[in-house]
Amino acid sequence: MASVAEPEAKADLDAFREEVRAFLAENFPPELRGKNNLLSSVEEAGEESPAEKAWRVAMGEKGWGTPTWPKEYGGGGLTKKQARALEEEMAKVGAWNPIGGMGVMMLGPTLLEFASEEQKHEHIPPICKGEIRWCQGYSEPNAGSDLANLQTMAEDKGDHYLVNGQKTWTSGGQWADKCFCLVRTSRADKHKGISFLLIDMHAPGVEVKPIKMISGMSPFCETFFTDVQVPKESLVGEEGQGWTIGKKLLQHERTNLSGGGALAALNSQPLGKVAERYIGLDENGKLADAELRVKIADFEMRWNAFLLTARRAMEESKAQGGVSEISSILKKAGTKLGQERAELMIAIQGYRGLGWEGEGFEQKELDGTRAWLFGKATTIYGGSTEIQNNIIAKRILGMLDHQ
Amino acid sequence: MAVLNDEQEMLRDMAREWTKNEHPVGAWRKVRDAGEPFDADAWGAMAEMGWAGIIIPEEHGGSDFGWMSLGLVVEELGKSLAASPLIASALAASAIVLGGSDEQKAQYLPRLASGELIGTLAFDEGPRHAGLKASASVHDGRLTGTKAFVHEASRAGLFVVLASDGVYLVEQGQGVTLSSRALADMRDHAEVDFNNAPAQKLAAGGDALAQKILDRARVLTAAEMLGMCQAVFDTTLDYLKQRVQFNQVLSSFQALQHRMADLYSELEMTRSAVEGGLQALDSGFAVTEAAMLAKARANDALHLISKEGVQLHGGIGMTDEYDVGFYLKRARVLEAAWGASSHLRDLFATAKGY
């Protein structure tokens, strides 16, 4: 059977590639080639140039920024194979996906699973078009790793909820239009008293204060809700179902954070080559700093083992049709390695790996300093390493809850 | 676990059942107490199941199932510390598959595939593996030199020997003298002295032949070590779930949970590296680098897990009566085989040009 079906599928895929090429030729502005800003998800959205806007709109209208999401809500409706072909064709011409952010990475997949039809039609198309920015209202000053301890209250007032409380670590909160939020609709039960609410960041009573981080950036905010009225239609799922929905969303988040994501890509120069430039080789052709040479080799070998593990997790989940057990170690291991790499870069570059601003540094050296500091967040956010250890111990290894 | 085909799954399940039921760690304990290098009956059973011929072509009596298949079997044997010359003999066979003439293949491979002949590699000349350096030399078809710590030497009928100008086959017999070397793992090791021993060169395979053999030795040893990592990890986890202290089972303590989560992470990364090595051997792509990675990862993970295994078992882990100490001792021997981590990192950096 496969022998009959496959040539046909291949022909379909070839035709699709043709369509992609034609689309890219017509719509991708050549001046944007390779200009994807990998830090954009943690930076302020600058003014879009006309070319950038045109590119985002073109991709958004096709639904190809969210290629595998259903067409009826604005997605591309593509198969996985087609989505891969799209990615490959874009890479060939230096094009990139202009549609991203938390709406795409986290909220969209969650809405597709839990939201009502009306909510899907209202919220998913603007995500697919990259028209609005979402932020995440989970953490609170006393509900970080112990997330279920959150206290922000949403009181039922008949036709609306009245929301009061404080969130923190709201990434991109100052630039966001809307917030997907975990709120307390009942104090009776720690977990079942939590609901999943979509809140307009421009509503009266919402106040945002950016927090300046050690990296000098302020991508995180404190968000205060004072008597904010949120319509009842903004509740996703049932009242009290928020913990279940919220946890599911965190799985999407973890998957996206495991590789150190954009920051890892930013640091993709091979360390050995970088070291050769800064340290030089001795008469035997080895790096002049023997200890550092060993550290770099050790790191690169462990990093390769991590990449092999990520590949294995993907192959396993494809074969099993579910999530591989080892995906839970990817966030823990990947973020740790990302941090080790940043520290090694400093060890290699010396003072020039610590440049803050101004003269005497290359741009990528300055970027490296910020990436090193920002990267410290990776083992804290999205479920800290310690929380990942708890999850591994209990869910995978079957170790008991402490008494 | 890599995604396996049906054939590989069957083979793995067979190996798993056999080691669990017929050849658990207790079997090795008996062999050790009897002072034997391995259980001859068990080796006969392994050969009968076709394991000695997994990487040998069908026309020479093997099944040609590939390295991933052999690795799966070796991993299971590693779990129960099964003593057998399977790895050594398969590596010797692979040397002939890669570098032997038609006559050499016809002469040795069928007997290696059936398990009747045991082969082993004799490469190293000192206490530390030194890559492809060898001073043993051959004149007029006769090899002279001393090889240190040759694994499975006492029952070997065929030595694959690294000499200064290539790789040679030497049969046990004239000009070959063994001096037993008892290491902490109590497995079969000997210093082998070759004095004008008749030697045939493995002429095919070119200059890279010795490296190719070494790559295979690293990956297959890493597969055994992966099995050991898994066994120590599983045993330790079971122990923590049973042992009660301060009126609580140990597995409820967060400090211990986090240590186990760390070990689990190491174990899974090691599995990826070892399976990656086996896949590289089967595909013939980037083999040397994958082999260095597999062995270095297995070294580091088994070092850590075998050490933590003893520590987390507490006093009982220190007793000879309990199995976990066997893994610790075997671990260090295998870490030294075919390149300690420091050696492999040096090679890796050199290969990458820094």
pLDDT, position A385: 92
Residue identified by tokens 């409380």 is: A165
- Select from A300, A308, A399 the Cβ nearest to the Cβ of B272: A308
Q: Does residue B37 carry a pLDDT above 50?
A: yes
- The whole-number pLDDT of residue A263 equals 43
Test A393 with B257 for CB contact under 8 angstroms. yes
Closest-CA residue of B relative to A270 is: B352
Task: Tell me what ipTM this predicted complex has.
Answer: 0.90
For residue A38, what are the CA distances in angstroms to A43, A60, A210? 10, 19, 21
- Tell me: pLDDT of A2 over 50: no
At residue A255, the pLDDT reads: 62
Q: Is B283 on the interface with A (CB under 8 A)?
A: no
| Lowest model confidence (mean pLDDT) among A242-251, B175-184, B267-276, B331-340 | A242-251
List the single best residue of A258, A282, A389, A401 to mutate versus B (max B Cβ within 10 A).
Answer: A389
Spatial distance between the Cα atoms of A311 and B154, rounded to a whole number of angstroms: 42
Expressed in angstroms, the distance from the first to the final Cα of chain A is: 57
CA distances from A221 to A141, A172, A178, B175 (A): 12, 7, 14, 79
Chain A, nearest residue to B246 by Cα: A403
Q: Is residue A6 pLDDT above 60, yes or no? A: no
**Integer Cα distance of A78 and A64 in angstroms:** 8
pLDDT digits (tens, 9 = 90+) for B212-258: 999 999 999 999 999 999 999 999 999 999 999 999 999 999 999 99
Marked catalytic residue, from A118, A253, A340, A362: A253
- Which helix (H) or strand (E) is A178 found in, with range? strand A178-184
Rounded Cα distance, A165 and A154, in Å: 9
Asked if the Cβ–Cβ distance from B293 to A401 is below 8 Å, we say no
Smallest CA–CA separation between A374 and chain B, in Å?
Answer: 24
Read off the pLDDT of each residue in A5-26 and give the average, rounded to a whole number.
Answer: 84
Using alpha carbons, select from B130, B132, B192, B273 the residue that is nearest to residue A301.
Answer: B273
Q: Number of Cβ pairs closer than 8 Å across A and B?
A: 129
Instruction: State which residue of chain B sits closest to A282, comparing Cα positions.
Output: B354
Residue A54 CA, chain-centre distance (Å), reads 24
Q: Quick check: A308 and B353 CB within 8 A?
A: no
- pLDDT, average across residues A190-213: 95
Taking CA atoms, B181 is separated from A286, B37, B131, in Å, by: 36, 12, 21
Q: Write down the pLDDT at residue A39.
A: 55
CB contacts, 8 Å: A284 with chain B: none
Pairing mode, strands A134-137 and A178-184: parallel
> pTM of the prediction?
0.85
pLDDT tens for residues B304-353? Answer: 999 999 999 999 999 999 999 999 999 999 999 999 999 999 999 999 99
3-class DSSP state of A257? helix
> Over the stretch A64-92, which tens digit does the pLDDT of each residue have?
999 999 999 999 999 988 998 998 899 88
- Establish if B248 touches chain A: CB-CB under 8 angstroms: yes
Q: Is B3 close to A315, i.e. CB distance below 8 A? A: yes
Contacts of A217 (CB under 8 A, 6+ apart): A42, A43, A370, A374
- Cα distance between residue B338 and residue B131, in whole Å: 8
pLDDT at residue A268 in the model: 62
Q: What's the CA gap between A33 and A50, in Å, rounded? A: 15
Beta bridge partners of A166: A224
Tell me: the pLDDT tens digits for B110-153?
999 999 999 999 999 999 999 999 999 999 999 999 999 999 99
First to last CA, chain B: 33
Strand, coil or helix: what is A398? Answer: coil
What SS3 string covers A352-385? Answer: HHCCCCCCCCCHHHHHHHHHHHHHHHHHCCCCCH
Q: Which of B252, B276, B342 sits opposite A403 (nearest CB)?
A: B252
Single-letter amino acid, residue A295: K
SS3 A136: strand
- Nearest-Cα residue of chain A relative to residue B239: A399
Residue pLDDT, tens place only, A138-176: 999 999 888 999 999 999 999 999 999 999 999 889 999
Q: Does the pLDDT value for residue A38 go beyond 60?
A: no
* Residue A316: predicted pLDDT: 87
pLDDT of residue A400: 84
Instruction: Collect all residues with Cβ–Cβ distance below 8 Å to A25 and sequence separation of at least 6.
Output: none
d(CA A294, CA A164): 54
Tell me if residue A253 is catalytic: yes
The pLDDT score that the predictor gives to residue B209 is: 97
In this complex, which of B237, B261, B354 lies closest to A272 when CB atoms are compared?
Answer: B354
Give the percent of chain B with pLDDT over 70. 100
Report which of B26, B194, B172 is spatially closest to residue B108, judged by C-alpha positions: B172
Q: What distance in Å separates residue A385's CA from the closest CA in chain B? A: 10
As a whole number of angstroms, the distance between CA A213 and CA A380 comes to 14
